């Protein structure tokens, strides 16, 4: 399975060049000109690493990184930016960045830093686990072990499962799940659809082994 790199860069020519060069190195790449597009991708794709410019239209790149860290995304983030002062670099790391490269840059150095960040991330990910009954979740890699099988989850499914694992035995209504997981990007119907998909993965026989529906109230994880 290829590592997926999301490139958030508002210079279209540079974005296309990065997509081309990284794809040639064997990565899957999704380019975004705006942070809103990147935010939507994070909900659906299993992202391995992000390259983030700080001079974005509508939102400073470090503010975007702060937001996704708060939302629980811990894949490596490398800033690729023209902001090159010492103060800029410090604020970049403080916002949640793992590395900081200033423009103009050498692609070979960028590639080496990407590979190094991915090696560190994959090594750490194996130690971050959540267990419940016969279910083991590795949040950073979006991997679930269940009944001896390994199941890949989307980042959205991982967030839902983590929310349930933090609230075992507690009834969660759809509104609170929407606010916790989707924030301003979601609609109420998204909750039902996403939980239905998650159930198919962790409870294919539909026996309500983990997620039970409480009619008129919401869901409870048991």
| Residue 135 and residue 118 in one domain | no
d(CA 75, CA 4): 11
Q: Is the pLDDT of residue 77 over 90?
A: yes
Sheet strands (E) in 16-173 = 28-32, 49-52, 77-81, 99-102, 130-132, 135-138, 143-146, 149-152, 171-172
Q: Answer yes or no: pTM beyond 0.75.
A: no
Of 29-38, 110-119, 121-130, minimum mean pLDDT range: 121-130
CB of 62 closer than 8 Å to CB of 37: no
**Burial bucket for residue 30 (CB in 10 Å: 0-12, 13-18, 19+):** middle
Q: Which pLDDT value is given to residue 71?
A: 78
| Residue 157 and residue 119 in one domain | no
Q: Which pLDDT value is given to residue 147?
A: 83
| Residue 180 and residue 115 in one domain | no
**Where is the domain boundary, 90, 125, 160?**
125
CB of 38 closer than 8 Å to CB of 64: yes
For the domain that residue 179 is a member of, what is the CATH number? Answer: 1.10.10.10
Q: Is the pLDDT of residue 123 over 80?
A: no
pLDDT tier at 125, thresholds 50, 70, 90:
low
Across the range 112-124, mean pLDDT stands at 83
Q: Is the pLDDT of residue 185 over 80?
A: no
Across the range 73-77, mean pLDDT stands at 86
The pair of three-digit structure tokens given for residue 15, joined into one six-digit string: 């974005």
Sheet holding 28-32, edge to edge: 28-32, 4-8, 49-52, 77-81, 99-102
Q: Is the pLDDT of residue 8 over 70?
A: yes
Q: Is the pLDDT of residue 53 over 90?
A: yes
| Residue 11 and residue 109 in one domain | yes
Nearest CA to 210 out of 160, 142, 164, 176 is that of 164
d(CA 197, CA 203): 10
Total domains, the chain: 2
Name residues whose C-beta falls within 8 Å of residue 153's C-beta, 6 or more positions apart in sequence.
46, 142, 143, 144, 161, 198, 201
Q: Is the pLDDT of residue 112 over 80?
A: yes
Share of the chain above pLDDT 70, in %: 95
Three-state secondary-structure class, residue 38: helix
| Residue 93 and residue 187 in one domain | no
Q: Which pLDDT value is given to residue 178?
A: 85
**Where is the domain boundary, 125, 146, 176?**
125
**Where is the domain boundary, 74, 106, 125?**
125
Average pLDDT, the chain: 88
Q: How many CB atoms lie under 10 A from the CB of residue 166?
A: 12
Residues 82-97: pLDDT tens digits? 999 999 998 998 898 9
| Residue 27 and residue 101 in one domain | yes
| Residue 102 and residue 167 in one domain | no
Q: Containing domain of residue 195, as a range?
A: 130-221
- Any idea which residue has 């103009």 for tokens? 104
Q: Which pLDDT value is given to residue 16?
A: 96
Does the CA dihedral 61-107-88-124 come out positive or negative?
A: positive
């Amino acid at each position: 399975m290829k590592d997926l790199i999301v490139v958030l860069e508002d210079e279209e020519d540079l974005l296309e060049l990065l997509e081309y060069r990284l794809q040639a190195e064997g990565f899957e790449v999704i380019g975004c000109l705006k942070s809103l597009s990147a935010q939507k991708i994070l909900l659906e794709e299993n992202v391995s690493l992000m390259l983030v410019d700080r001079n974005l239209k509508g939102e400073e790149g470090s503010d975007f990184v702060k937001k996704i860290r708060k939302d629980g995304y811990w894949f490596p983030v490398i800033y690729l930016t023209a902001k090159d002062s010492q103060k800029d670099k410090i604020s970049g790391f403080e916002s949640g960045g793992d590395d900081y490269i200033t423009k103009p840059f050498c692609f070979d150095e960028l590639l080496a830093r990407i590979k190094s960040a991915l090696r560190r991330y994959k090594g750490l990910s194996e130690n971050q686990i959540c267990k419940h009954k016969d279910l083991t979740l590795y949040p950073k890699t979006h991997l679930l072990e269940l009944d001896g099988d390994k199941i890949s989850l989307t980042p959205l499914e991982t967030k839902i499962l983590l929310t349930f694992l933090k609230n075992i035995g507690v009834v969660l209504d759809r509104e609170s799940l929407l606010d916790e997981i989707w924030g301003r990007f979601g609609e109420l119907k998204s909750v039902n659809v996403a939980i239905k998909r998650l159930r198919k993965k962790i409870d294919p026989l539909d026996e309500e082994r983990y997620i039970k529906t409480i009619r008129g109230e919401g869901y409870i994880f048991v």
